[in-house]
Structures are given as structure tokens and as C-alpha cells.
């Protein structure tokens, strides 16, 4: 038996053993229970949680310790900058605001999380742009920088929080301006996975069990939804098998190198399934924009006579991960020009009671497609292999089209 096959067999046996143990002791372990299944984890919900933890006057009652650890672990350019030492010495004076309106620049945007610290005549400002799911808006980061400038802070800093992008898109800020911010220690990119070290440090310092347990639950949520880690016990068990010896490490690398190819082959199968099962009615199916695993790859329902938008299934992350489904316009300008944009979200929210419909600049109405985790879970890939994923995508895309069409929201040629 090859080392690769032996490795796969060992991993399968270990997972089966863990699943058996979890089934036997589920009442004691409660492996599927998570606090975050019962609270809002959309963009505003996550911003609310982070703002509450960063607030020195927050109900966690740990004073400025969480904020201090956040600066230390997540914003080292500030932590090591002499210009920010006065701020660091006065963290207890920091005020934290949620959805702060950019009134000084007259752009009427909302800063997801805004930290302001006044020390004597000097003030310090930090804006955290939280992007767990949504895409960048036109000049968004530039507008935030203008707002911070206009607030006359002695020093200010922008934080772009997401998981997969290395930088904001040029749609939000041009490369030259971003480089100027970086050189001037006015910008940091932070991944959700990068919050883990901060949360663990907070748990060590936290003196309240309930708050510490909440942070542990938040850590598990981030690991699951942004890092693809469903079960740390399972993950650690597999890691132990992989690290046994040189042969198992070599075998695991070989397996890892074929996963991307496997996904691309299954996506090719999905395209064939979709085209075979699709019945041309009032729209045309276009699968030419998917296959390589780049971010924003998509499947389109082209609507004849309505060439400014299409019903769209799109991967929000690279590597075929976190799909969304809804109505997408060809440009932000086209979406703004559509008189039915707000109605699209309202109607879909009303009709699709099991979905949480959101909107963004180019998407008047969309929701996150289930299964959501295509990176860390095998569920979606098994469905493709079994031939059921194509049916699900077609059914949901057709439902979105029919709801919009029946409500006369697709009958205007723009």
C-alpha cells in the first residue's frame, strides 16, 4: 500500500473514531453548540462585538486591557511608533463609536468602528473598516482618510479588516495613496484569523469567566467561518497523523497539491451538470466566468432585454469559497440608475423567508448560498460529485429570477 493511501486510511479511521466518541459523549461535549448560532454575525453584528470588546468602558469590565492587547497584537505599527506613545499611555480615555457618520467630510458614510482618544489638546483617531463579507465601495477608504484628516487628529490610522484580500481594491483606494499611508504608518491590513492571537491573549488576562468563555466562542466562530476549521479536536488529530514521520509529511504534501486540481475538476463537472440540466426559458445560462478559482468567479443567468444586470451565483472568496446569489448589476453606476434597486431587496426579503437578503453597491439584493463553507468542508464538493449541486443552484437562481420578474422588477430596459 502506498504511503499516500496509508495516510488517507489513517486519517479516515481517526475521524471515524472521533465521530464515534462525539456521538457517545455528545451530551457532555455538546460539539455542535455555539453561542454565535443565536446572535447576529453579519457585518454590523461583528462590528458591535469588536467595538464592545475594545471599549475601555465596556460591560466586560476589564477596563483598557483588551484595547491594549489589540494594539499590541494586531496593530504593531502603532504599538512600536513613538508618535503614538501618548495615546498608548492614555488608552483608558479612548471612546469607541459604532457606525460613526463621516460628517466632517460631507460624504455621509459610516465608519464601522471609530476610536477617538483626547489627551489634552491632542486627539488620536483609528477607523476600522470591517469587511467580513461585503465588497469595497467606490473611494470608500479614501473618504475615511479624508474624514480623519478633517477631524484634525494629531495622528490617525486606518485598519482594513477582512480575511482574503491583502489590500483594499483600487476601487476603494488607489495604489499610490495606499502606499503613502503605509509609509506614513497610517494604514494596517488585518485578517480575521489575525484576531485569534489577540483573543487568546485577552483570555489569559481576563478575570471574568463569562467574558473569557465568550471570547473562546468568538475564536471558534472565526476559525470556522473564516479559516475553514470545523472542529479543532479533529484538526489536531489529523495534524498529529501528518507529523508522525517524514513519509507522512511527504504524503500529506502530495495530497495537498492535488486538492486544487480536484476542486477545478469538480467545478468543470458542475458546469457540465448545469448546462445539461438547464432548460432555456426566459434567460440564458453563462458558465464562462468560472473555473480557475479566482475571487468573484461567477455563473450568470442572462436576462434578454435587460442588459444592465443578471441573476448571479458568485464566489466571494478565492479558491471557490463563500458563494453568494442574487441580482448583480454590470456596474455601480448601473445599479444607482435602476429605479427598482431598493424594491428588489424588499421583495426578495419578503418572499424568501429562509434567506437573509443584503445589498451592496453593485448588488441590490443578494444572500449567502448554503452550503457556505467550500474551503474547509467537503459538503459542497460531495454534492457536486453526486450531481445534486447543479439542481440546487439552478433552483435557487430560477427562484430569484421568478420573484423579481413576477414583481415586474426586470421589465425596464435601462
| Helix H or strand E encompassing 276 | helix 246-277
Residues 356 and 324: their CA atoms lie apart, in Å, by 11
Give the mean model confidence (pLDDT) for residues 7-25.
56
Q: Are 305 and 413 in contact (CB under 8 A)?
A: yes
Q: Which pLDDT band holds residue 170 (cuts at 50, 70, 90)? A: confident
Q: Are 122 and 93 in contact (CB under 8 A)?
A: no
Of the ranges 92-96, 108-112, 338-342, which one carries the lowest mean pLDDT score? 338-342
pLDDT of residue 414: 39
Task: Kindly report the average pLDDT of the chain as a whole number.
Answer: 86
Q: Which pLDDT band holds residue 413 (cuts at 50, 70, 90)? A: very low
Strand extents, DSSP E, 278-413: 284-286, 298-302, 309-317, 321-329, 365-368
pLDDT of residue 32: 65
Best mean pLDDT range from 65-74, 101-110, 225-234: 65-74
Residues 370 and 355: their CA atoms lie apart, in Å, by 10
pLDDT digits (tens, 9 = 90+) for 183-219: 999 999 999 999 999 999 999 899 999 999 999 999 9
Strand extents, DSSP E, 261-407: 284-286, 298-302, 309-317, 321-329, 365-368
Cα–Cα distances (Å) from 152 to 90, 148, 172, in that order, read: 19, 7, 22
pLDDT of residue 247: 74
Residues 380 and 370: their CA atoms lie apart, in Å, by 9
Q: Is 408 exposed, middle or buried (0-12, 13-18, 19+ CB in 10 A)?
A: exposed
pLDDT digits (tens, 9 = 90+) for 46-82: 999 999 999 999 999 999 999 999 999 999 999 999 9
What nine digits make up the cell of 144?
475615511
What nine digits make up the cell of 146?
479624508
**Where do runs of H (alpha helix) occur along 129-245?**
140-150, 175-183, 195-205, 209-225, 232-242
pTM for the predicted model, two decimal places:
0.59
pLDDT digits (tens, 9 = 90+) for 120-151: 999 999 999 999 987 788 899 999 999 999 99
Best mean pLDDT range from 88-92, 224-228, 231-235, 301-305: 88-92
Q: Which pLDDT band holds residue 386 (cuts at 50, 70, 90)? A: very high
Provide the greatest CA pair distance for the chain. 73
Concatenating the DSSP letter of every residue in 122-144 gives: EEEEEEEEE-SSPPPPTTHHHHH
Q: Are 230 and 376 in contact (CB under 8 A)?
A: yes
pLDDT of residue 410: 84
pLDDT digits (tens, 9 = 90+) for 353-374: 888 888 888 999 999 999 888 9
Cα–Cα distances (Å) from 160 to 125, 204, 209, in that order, read: 14, 26, 31
Residues 166 and 187: their CA atoms lie apart, in Å, by 12
pLDDT of residue 10: 64
pLDDT of residue 260: 86
Q: For residues 143-177, b (16+ Cβ closer than 10 Å) or e, as one string? A: bbbbbbeebebbbbbbbbbbbbbebbeebbbeeee
**Of residues 29 and 172, more confidently modeled:** 172
What nine digits make up the cell of 313?
451565483
Amino acid at each position: 500500500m502506498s504511503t499516500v493511501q496509508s495516510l488517507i486510511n489513517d486519517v479516515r479511521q481517526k475521524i471515524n473514531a472521533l465521530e464515534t466518541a462525539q456521538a457517545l459523549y455528545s451530551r457532555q461535549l455538546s460539539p455542535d453548540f455555539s453561542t454565535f448560532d443565536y446572535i447576529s454575525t453579519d457585518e454590523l453584528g461583528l462590528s458591535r462585538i469588536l467595538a464592545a470588546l475594545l471599549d475601555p468602558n465596556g460591560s466586560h469590565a476589564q477596563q483598557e486591557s483588551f484595547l491594549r492587547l489589540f494594539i499590541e497584537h494586531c496593530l504593531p505599527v502603532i504599538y512600536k511608533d513613538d508618535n503614538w506613545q501618548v495615546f498608548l499611555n492614555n488608552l483608558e480615555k479612548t471612546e469607541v463609536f459604532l457606525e460613526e457618520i463621516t460628517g466632517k467630510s460631507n460624504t455621509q458614510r459610516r465608519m464601522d468602528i471609530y476610536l477617538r482618544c483626547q489627551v489634552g489638546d491632542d486627539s488620536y483617531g483609528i477607523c476600522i473598516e470591517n469587511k467580513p463579507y461585503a465588497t469595497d465601495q467606490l473611494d470608500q477608504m479614501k473618504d475615511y482618510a479624508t474624514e480623519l484628516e478633517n477631524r484634525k487628529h494629531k495622528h490617525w490610522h486606518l485598519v482594513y479588516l477582512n480575511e482574503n484580500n491583502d489590500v483594499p481594491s483600487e476601487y476603494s483606494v488607489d495604489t499610490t495613496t495606499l502606499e503613502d499611508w503605509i509609509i506614513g504608518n497610517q494604514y494596517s491590513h488585518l485578517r480575521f484569523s489575525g484576531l485569534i492571537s489577540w483573543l487568546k491573549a485577552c483570555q489569559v488576562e481576563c478575570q471574568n469567566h463569562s467574558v473569557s468563555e465568550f471570547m473562546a466562542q468568538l475564536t471558534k466562530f472565526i476559525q470556522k467561518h473564516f479559516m475553514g476549521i470545523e472542529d479543532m479536536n479533529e484538526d489536531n488529530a489529523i495534524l498529529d497523523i501528518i507529523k508522525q514521520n517524514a513519509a507522512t509529511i511527504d504524503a500529506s504534501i502530495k495530497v495537498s497539491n492535488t486538492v486544487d486540481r480536484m476542486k477545478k475538476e469538480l467545478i468543470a463537472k458542475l458546469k457540465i451538470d448545469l448546462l445539461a440540466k438547464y432548460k432555456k426559458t426566459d434567460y440564458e445560462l453563462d458558465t464562462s466566468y468560472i473555473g480557475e478559482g479566482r475571487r468573484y468567479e461567477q455563473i450568470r443567468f442572462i436576462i434578454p432585454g435587460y442588459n444592465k444586470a443578471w441573476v448571479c451565483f458568485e464566489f466571494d472568496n478565492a479558491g471557490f469559497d463563500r458563494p453568494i446569489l442574487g441580482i448583480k448589476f454590470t456596474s455601480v453606476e448601473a445599479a444607482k440608475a435602476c429605479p427598482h434597486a431598493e424594491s428588489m431587496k424588499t421583495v426578495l426579503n419578503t418572499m424568501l423567508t429562509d434567506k437573509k437578503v443584503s445589498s451592496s453597491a453593485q448588488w441590490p439584493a443578494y444572500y449567502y448560498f448554503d452550503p457556505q463553507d467550500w474551503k474547509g468542508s467537503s459538503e459542497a464538493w460531495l454534492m457536486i460529485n453526486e450531481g445534486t449541486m447543479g439542481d440546487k443552484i439552478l433552483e435557487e437562481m430560477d427562484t430569484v429570477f421568478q420573484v423579481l420578474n413576477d414583481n415586474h422588477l426586470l421589465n425596464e430596459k435601462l
